[in-house]
Amino acid sequence: METELDLSGLGFTTISRLGKGGSATTQVVRDSADGRICVAKCVLLDTLSKHHQELAKQEVFLLQALRHPYVVTYCESFFMDGTATLVILTEHCEGGDLRRLILRTAGSASRFTEDQVMMWLSQIALALQYIHGKKVLHRDLKASNLFLDKNAAVKLGDFGISKVLEGTADFAATLLGTPYYMSPEVCCNELYSWKSDIWSFGCVLYELCMLKRPFESEKLPVLVHMITNDLYDPIPDLYSDGLRSLLCQMLTKSAAARPFADEILDNSYVHSYMAKLDSLAPDLSCGRTPPGTPPATSRAPGVFAVTGTPPGTPPGSQKLVSCSEQSSAAARAASGGALVLD
């Protein structure tokens, strides 16, 4: 289905196209009003189920509420009248995503230094500490959802299937996420919470060290068995015991045994890297509009800003997040189908 959207009538010039799927495209655009460069994610809502339409809208509300140097910055959003298209504008991270960098590094037969891995680990841990403190469960943390700015600092993005939990002791029950990074509790269709994001974080850390994912298979049932039962191959000797220990804690099969993000940041080995970050940390304002500021006004007739209460926000009395829908990954697991995902 054709999903390209011409934003030139709204004052944007397309610089490049980043990706295209059945219901969405992403492209790098320049705003003619101020010259800023953004990423425009254009979602054709009428191609999605009601549930996934709500998830797309929820991403806007989450991005509006998040403000942190290691989280991708929200710019603005609007609906295009007559096309049922939601456009989400976020900052452009010039360095691309971490997955592509990992693949390039693997192709060049080189490795990331421990200092670089630990700096990224510290930045991701800070981002997770922040969103978890906001009661936001990412649910799709992976290398391709971590983006690099011009200074090679990493930023967490793509909150398309994130979930707002009512409290720190709450759980979610929907099978979502990219299978390679799914935690054992998600694979077993059990309740999950913040520690599931930590498992995915551990998968990214492993990928940075090994230039491959800890568990890989083209068949989803085989992958699920590996995640829930198998051990990962050890990382190279060039990495320290301190890094190995962190990885072991994050990729522990038991969710209860995994650390929270703030416990990772409290790790004595991480402290020295945190000191380096303190001297390099960008301004917390990140050049974005403070939370609570009304969305931008319409750029042209037929364009509407996204406003209102975040869809799916749990009521105060609800302590368990559940959903009747399962992802396509669940369906493939039941049927033994092939896995084709990034």
Structure tokens at 298: 């319409």
Q: Is 41 marked within a binding site?
A: yes
Spatial contact of 59 and 37, defined as CB atoms under 8 Å apart = no
Active site residue 140: yes
Helix or strand or coil: residue 248? Answer: helix
- C-alpha 51/C-alpha 312 separation (Å) is 9
Task: Quickly tell me which residue has 């609570």 as its tokens.
Answer: 292
Helix or strand or coil: residue 47? Answer: helix
Structure tokens at 53: 């339409």
* Cα 294-296-299 angle, rounded to 5 deg: 155
Give Cα separations from 172 to 127, 179, 320 (angstroms): 20, 17, 6
Spatial contact of 156 and 72, defined as CB atoms under 8 Å apart = yes
- C-alpha 42/C-alpha 324 separation (Å) is 27
Helix or strand or coil: residue 190? Answer: coil
Task: Quickly tell me which residue has 């709500």 as its tokens.
Answer: 54
Helix or strand or coil: residue 194? Answer: helix
Set 6, 46, 81, 140: catalytic member: 140
Annotated binding site: 41
Annotated binding site for ATP: 41
- Positions marked catalytic: 140
